[in-house]
Every structure is written in C-alpha cells, then in structure tokens.
Amino acid sequence: MPKTINRMQKEEFEQLLEKFVAETINAEELAIFLSELKNGDHQFELETAITKRLEQKDLPDYSDKEKLEETFREAMATADMNGINTKIIHLRRRIRYTRLAAAAVILIMMVTVVYYSFTGKNNGPVIALKSAADQPVNDIPPGSNKAILTLADGSTIILDSANVGTLSQQGAANVIKLNSGRLAYETVNKKAGEIVYNTIATPKGGTYEIVLPDETKVWLNALSSLRFPTSFTGKERQVEITGEAYFEVAKNKAMPFKVMANNVETEVLGTHFNIMAYGDEELIKTTLIEGRVKVNSHGKSVLLSPDQQARLTRNNSDLQVTNDIDADAEIAWKTGSFNFNDADIATVMRQLSRWYDVEVTYSGSVPTDRFTGKMSRYKSLSKVLKVLELSDVHFKIEGKKIIVAS
C-alpha cells in the first residue's frame, strides 16, 4: 500500500506562500499555511521564495537602513505566533540588511497581520490585506484550486468544496482529499475486481493536483482533464489528458507510463515533463524537464532529453524536436507565474482567458505587439493588464469580457 506522507511537500508550501503574498489565499489554505510556518520545516523554501520575489521585483524596496531597522522592531514587537518569533529572529541573523532583508520584513509583517486577524485577536478572520476600496470596481480575481471529479458510475464530486478525508472507494483504491487540498488515490485492495476509470477536470480559472495510485503526481492547468484507472495493472500505466498537465512519474521499469493527448503518445519510465494540448493552440508540445521520454505520433517517434521539446503541428501532423526552449517558461503556470517569451497578443490572451475565465474580443485590428516578461498568476486581472499596457496595447474589462485595442 502506498505510504501516505502527512508533511507538506515543498511545492505545496510554495504555492500557499505565493497565494498568501498575492492575497488570494482562502481561510482553509491560510490555516494550513500558518500551521506549516509554526512547525519550522519550510525555512529554506521561505528564504528561496523571498529571493525569487526580489528577482521578479514583486516586493517593495527599503533602501533606508534606519527605517528598515525600525520596521523590523515594530514587526517583532507585535508578533507572538506560538514559536514563529524565534524562527524570524533566526532568519534575520542569516541575512544582511539588503533588499532581501527588506522583503523578509514585508513577509513577516504580512504574516503577523493575518495571524492576529485569523486567531480572533482582531475581530475575526481577515484574508485580504487590502480593503475593498483599494480594489478596482470592475476587476476579476485570479483562478484557484478547483476541479470536478467524475467517478466510475458517472456521479461527480466538486473537489474545492469537498471535505478533507475519504471521498469514495473506486475499485481497489480509496479516493482521499488531503489536508493540502490535493486529491490522492490509496490502494487498499489489489484484488478488488475490474479496473474502473475516473476523470478529474478543471474549469476555466481552475487548477488542481492529484496523486495517482502509483504515486505519480499530476498538476492540471485550467480547462484541462485527466482520465485514469483507479489502479494500475498489466504491462503499462496509461492515462489520457486534454488541455495542459505537468507529470512527475513514479519510476517502475516493469510498467511504462503512457500519456495520450489527442494524437500524441508520450511514453516514460519515470521522469518530469509537461504536455500542452489545448484545442485552440496550433502546437501540441511535450517539454521534458528530467529523465527521458519517447513521443509518438502518426507513425513517427522522437526521443527527448532534458530541456528539449517535441512539437506536433496540428494542420500538417509534423512532429519535430527543438532545443531552443526556455523550460522554466513552459512550466511557469505550475509554479504560479505567467512567463512570456516574445509571445504575440493572441497567445497571451488565450492564457489569460483560461486562467481568469473571461472572453476576449478585439476592437479593430489585432495588435502586432509581442511580449516578454514574467509576472505572478495570482494577481488580479487588472494588475496583469496594467503591466501589458506598458506597450501600445490597451484593454477594457466589461463584466467577464476583455476588449483588446491598439
């Protein structure tokens, strides 16, 4: 029986931290996040995240050392978070008074404010750190963890509102929603009859993580689906996807893992890779991050090494391998970012449409501007559009519609 790991994984903590800083964290996630801060297991991830945010210039800069010292003292004077204080002091000693220290202060103050509000010392839970008056009236929040699970009998479970714990038994496995919010399949009876299939699907504005019966981890991007058996038997493990998914495949040399996406089959033994196969995209792309995979389509096969990508052009079924890729950009969605590299406006808007659940229309001719840059996926839509408007493109939000104009 697969071992259930209770300690939060690094990726899960980073996702919660990103949501916390972006002010999109919900009450359940906030409780988990604060608990993880208290247990002290994620100091490295916290420091790494601070450094990353500085590189992205997502946090304000404090160049006045005296002001920084005063701010830090104020934060420390008000913070008493059942042991978090000592961890903050330790963090302070390990860093100099640079922009890194400034960023640490900002994060610490944010944690302090939310902690006291959440524990009832400030009249109940306060999730957003900004008042409603600070937000644009006509704005759209970012996507979040939400998906629908369809069981073998056709019944459905809305995962984002489902309680933590066992949700169902499907074939040989228990279906469990973990404290972190992700879905897991735990094999309990390897002799439990025929193989049954489940499907997990994210809507627009949704993303979700699932752990399959073999302990393979799958992240689904917005407007995507994964169909899979509730237990793996026989000579291979095979699943089907639509949309986009990132895989961390558990190694099993005796049972290769295959992913079907439209007319593309990706075969692996144990590796990390991303498949993008949206119906409105010209290319179906398989990007290898770690290990080796074989990609098959229309009678042609290619082998990929890390940082290579297989591309199938839909209109002519041409399968090619390219080395000229930015792997971090290809999987930026999984780590909570938009990362555009000379992308045209149509490519950018397709991503925004899926993540913010909006319709995109163009007023007049389609702008020819191209975009390069990285920003958080957990910003509100208006903030993302404001950055894009640094070019000559203009946007207007009308309800659930974005109007693009030159």
Does 139 fall in a domain? no
* First-last CA distance in the chain: 58
Cα separation, 187 vs 378, whole angstroms: 35
Q: Considering the domain boundaries, does residue 195 fall inside one?
A: yes
Give me the amino acid identity at 193.
Answer: G
**Residue 98: its pLDDT value, please?**
44
Q: By mean pLDDT, which of 35-44, 100-109, 317-326 is the weakest?
A: 100-109
Greater confidence (188 vs 207) lies with 207
Q: Which of 95, 92, 115 is nearest to 36 (CA)?
A: 115
323 and 342 share one domain: no
The answer to the question of residue 1 being in a domain is: no
**What CATH number does the domain containing 374 carry?**
3.55.50.30
51 and 157, same domain (yes or no): no
Q: What is the pLDDT of residue 170?
A: 92
Query: Does residue 30 sit within a domain?
Result: yes
**Statement to judge: residues 266 and 385 lie in one domain:** no
Q: Give the C-alpha separation, 382 to 369, whole Å.
A: 19
Whether residue 4 lies inside any domain: the answer is no
* Of residues 30 and 277, more confidently modeled: 277
Residues 276/277/280/282 CA torsion (nearest 10 deg): 80
Could you tell me if 296 and 370 lie in one domain? Answer: no
Q: For residues 253 and 245, is the Cβ–Cβ distance under 8 A?
A: no
Domain match, 93 and 120 both: yes
User: In sequence order, what are the residues at sequence separation of 6 or more whose Cβ sits closer than 8 angstroms to the Cβ of residue 203?
Assistant: 146, 147, 148, 222, 223, 357
280 shares its domain with 387: no
Note whether 230 and 357 are same-domain residues.
Answer: no
Asked if the structure places residue 48 within a domain, the reply is yes
Which residue segment(s) compose the domain that 387 sits in? 336-405
Indicate the residue among 306, 329, 352 that finishes a domain: 329
* Residue carrying the six token digits 């990508």: 309
Residue 5 lies in a domain: no
Cα–Cα distance for residue pair 211/15, rounded to 1 Å: 16
312, part of any domain: yes
- For position 245, which CATH number holds? 2.60.120.1440
107, 134, 161: which is the final residue of a domain? Answer: 134
- In whole angstroms, what is the distance from residue 178 CA to residue 186 CA? 11
- 300 shares its domain with 194: yes
CB 266 within 8 A of CB 249: no
pLDDT > 90 fraction of the chain, expressed in percent and rounded: 48
The answer to pTM > 0.75 is no
Chain mean pLDDT for the chain: 78
- The DSSP annotation for 48-87 comes to HHHHHHHHTT-S-----HHHHHHHHHHHHHH---TTHHHH
- Are 58 and 18 found together in one domain? yes
How many domains is the chain built from? 3
Q: Residue 406 above 60 pLDDT? A: yes
- Tens-digit pLDDT profile for residues 278-321: 999 999 999 999 999 999 998 899 999 999 999 999 888 889 99
Residues 320 and 350 in one domain: no
Question: pLDDT by residue (tens digit) across 317-376?
Answer: 889 999 988 888 999 999 899 998 889 999 999 999 999 999 999 998 888 888 888 888
Q: How many CB atoms lie within 10 A of CB 328?
A: 14
Beta-sheet pairing, 144-145 with 206-211 = parallel
Q: Are residues 266 and 366 in the same domain?
A: no
Most confident of 128-142, 242-256, 323-337, 388-402: 242-256
Final residue belonging to a domain, choices 301, 329, 357: 329
Based on the fold, state whether residues 345 and 313 are members of the same structural domain: no
Where residue 138 falls among pLDDT bands split at 50, 70, 90?
Answer: confident
Q: What is the pLDDT of residue 123?
A: 36
| pLDDT for the residue 242 | 97
Distance from C-alpha of 153 to C-alpha of 198, rounded to nearest angstrom:
9
